[in-house]
Structure 1
Amino acid sequence: MRDNKRINAEIKLACQVYGANHVLWAPDGSWIKISVFPLPPNLNMKITEIIIIFPEQYGYGAPLRDCFVNPDLKAWNPKTNQLVELPHYYQQYPYTKPPIGSKEEFVRKQWRYLCIHEKNWHPQKSNIVTFLQYVNFFLSDPLRDWKSLFESYETRKR
């Protein structure tokens, strides 16, 4: 069960940051859509629509992780001087059925799944805006070896 009070507060926060006319959400609090999410300059688009899924236990420790973005989003690869698909950018779907519709609906609407594991998620301090900052941070250098970076960070932490 989601913490609806927290989700409502985060929807208001998203409206303040991105503009109320650019934010839509499910009445049951299962997702939020931002229609003009600004992107870093190394991508082939300046903005994208983004849908963020609120997990079932959101507000009780579960972090934000799953989002959907425009399927045509690509990154500039300076090594090849070409636009390439983003790594860790799945054409498949989250681990459970998406709450805003069926997989077929996402295929029809051309949404693509992106999973961001925010290593420093703090249940009381982190929120939708900090999650979207992580999404933007990832997209600023999507070709980086993120897995090695986080593995070396975890090793140093021990």
Structure 2
Amino acid sequence: MTTPAFVTCDLLDDHPELEIQVVTPSMDGKFFKSYGAVKSFGGQVVTVKCFEDNSRVKELLATDGTGKVLVVDGGASMRCALMGDLIAESAVKNHWNGVIIYGCVRDVDAIAELNLGVHALASIPQKSNRKGIGEVDIALHFGGVTIQSGDYVYADNNGIVVSKEKLVDL
């Protein structure tokens, strides 16, 4: 077992002077769960907002993601997945550190084997419809935080934190 590069609890404790945001679980039971083989991951944020259409997710994860985490606001939809095993494999091939989806994933057994951090609200076997809809590099708002491209995000089994500053080298 490898030691994680960080623990989100320690990042908060070690940097009390910084304005670090913590993604909060909602009252209606929306909690992020870990699906990838990498349980502690982080990096510079790239944002995408899309509702039940993973076109932009697929496009972005097919580009160089070295040192980056894709944060997807899927509107917390529980009707279809915004990422499956093929798109996750593309993320690994293109060196993304992780993907955080405010929505669902699918092919969870295959994703669990990939060298990728993945947090999502739930899994569902239904794929999304691709219509080419979605916005990239816009401010996202969920879990009581605002996340923008260029921010830094760190996720582990304790939760997800967001900072304007890089907190640890990964």
TM-score bin, normalised by smaller chain: under 0.3
TM-score by length of 2: 0.25
Higher strand share: 2
| Bigger relative CO (Cα 8 Å, ≥ 6 apart) | 2
Higher-Rg member (1/2) = 1
